[in-house]
A and B are shown apart, each in its own frame.
Chain A
Amino acid sequence: MAKTTAHTVRDNDLSRRTSPAAPLADAFEAGSVAGVVELREEPFLTMVGLRVQHGTEVGDRIAAVTGGLPEASGGVGGNDDCSVLWLGPTEFLVVAPMEAHESLGGTLIQSLRDALGDGEGQVVDLSANRTTFELTGSRSRAVLEKGCSLDLHPRVLKAGTALSTEIGQIPVVLWKTGDESFRIFPRASFADFLGRWLLDAMREYAAPEVP
């Protein structure tokens, strides 16, 4: 009996869980250059994979929960509770704060499941699939340009756009959240490599600029 209790307590003790890039947390702090380019991990965001067709009845029901589904590549929809990123014509990624996960009492995933019902589609909890890097600062675009073939110039890539692409040969979802801030979603197993790659790319901006 006591054993069962201990097991339950450990399952709910979220302070014990480790995010994919947690071993790099100190390195991220040391490698960040305040106001120029800063990198940190935003661990344990709630993510839900959606497969649903636009315009169908079940698509409308899901869209009512998420606050709309983006129409085309790059689109980001959503409401105050969550954002929806376009991954494919029938594939979307819902990103929500950690507290939205059902292990912390959130209702987002269950309400999506309810909206799907027995309709055609898929609602899958993918929170452990990817981790989140936040890259901010005036040089963040220059850092990404070292390994991303997209045109990241603000004239082309507007804030509020999310694209699946490659950074440093790692497949990621790149979400431009603000004029000088990006969210990068690598899969958990690539987080260490991509974290080190970004640190290396950021290093030159710690030194004074060579005229």
Chain B
Amino acid sequence: MLLISCPNCGSRDETEFHYGGQAHVPYPENPDELTDRQWAEFLFYRDNTKGSFAERWLHSTGCRQWFNMLRDTVTYDIQAIYPMGAPRPAPNTDQPADFGTASLAPDSTTTGTTGPSVASTDLGPAEPAATAPKGATQ
């Protein structure tokens, strides 16, 4: 269960909210001039981001207001909540993801990302995913 901080009502359970899909998808300025392909992309094509994702939420059983949320789709960490129409804030890069690649390295005794730069070797072409489980790297 996510605990979502509604800008009007404060922290409430996820069940009081409805998800509204990807944020910042502007309505085309001249819909008549779009090709079918472009129109379909506006209507149906959405990002499937792994990591920070800007999305819309509605507090449907509370104040019934929409707001935007920046959420990590892997860790479910809510990084920012901001009003509709506001630009997307910069993702919080200080906070490393909770799933570590370092802890699985043979020479690592640490967890998380506090260890030596094992993560960078994980991504190197010479050692393809030998030390990281599938889907563990970003």
B130 in the interface (beta carbon within 8 A): no
Interface class of chain A by DSSP: strand
Distance (Å) between the CB of A5 and the closest chain B CB?
Answer: 45
Residues on the B chain within 8 Å of A91, using CB: 63-64
Closest chain A CB from B18 CB (angstroms): 12
Is there contact, CB below 8 Å, between A89 and B12? no
A178 within 8 A of partner (CB)? no
Chain B residues touching A, majority SS: loop
| Chain B CB within 8 A of A137 CB | no
Residue tally, chain A, CB below 8 Å to B: 14
A73 interface neighbour in B9, B16, B61, Cβ under 8 Å = B9
Which residues of B sit under 8 angstroms from A149, Cβ to Cβ?
12-13, 15
Contact with A165, one of B8, B61, B64 (Cβ below 8 angstroms): B61
The contact of A89 among B8, B15, B16, by CB within 8 Å, is B8
Chain A residue with Cβ nearest B64: A88
Q: List 29 A-B contacts (CB under 8 A).
A: A72-B8, A73-B8, A73-B9, A73-B10, A73-B63, A88-B8, A88-B63, A88-B64, A88-B65, A89-B8, A89-B63, A89-B65, A91-B63, A149-B12, A149-B13, A150-B12, A163-B9, A163-B62, A164-B61, A164-B62, A164-B63, A165-B12, A165-B61, A165-B62, A166-B13, A166-B16, A166-B61, A169-B15, A171-B61
